[in-house]
Amino acid sequence: MNLLKQARMAAGLSIEKAAEKLNIPAGYLSQIENGHRQVSAERAEQIAKLYKKRTEEIFLPSRYAVREVSSTSA
């Protein structure tokens, strides 16, 4: 079970109830939970707030990779 789904269940919310509170379809929230949909930063914050978590606790930075940039000059 992924972090997002665990957080929702720990908050005592069904997917239908969570989606209703977020004003989105349950199917859309399910797709977010299952990794089939990307989520905006704003939506991620809304979900985290609803689940009483910090965004980085339940959303992995899958869209953004941290990498070191070399500063060597040619």
Print pLDDT tens along the chain (74 aa): 788 999 999 999 999 999 999 999 999 999 999 989 988 889 999 999 999 999 988 987 654 433 444 555 55
What is d(CA 67, CA 36) in angstroms, rounded to the nearest whole number? 25
Domains recognised in the chain with CATH numbers:
3-57 (1.10.260.40)
Query: Quick one: pLDDT at residue 48?
Result: 95
> How many residues are present in the chain?
74
User: Token digits for 38?
Assistant: 């990307």
Name the burial class of residue 38, with classes exposed (0-12), middle (13-18) and buried (19+) by CB atoms within 10 angstroms of its CB.
Answer: exposed
Helix locations, 1-74, DSSP H: 3-10, 15-22, 26-33, 41-50, 55-58
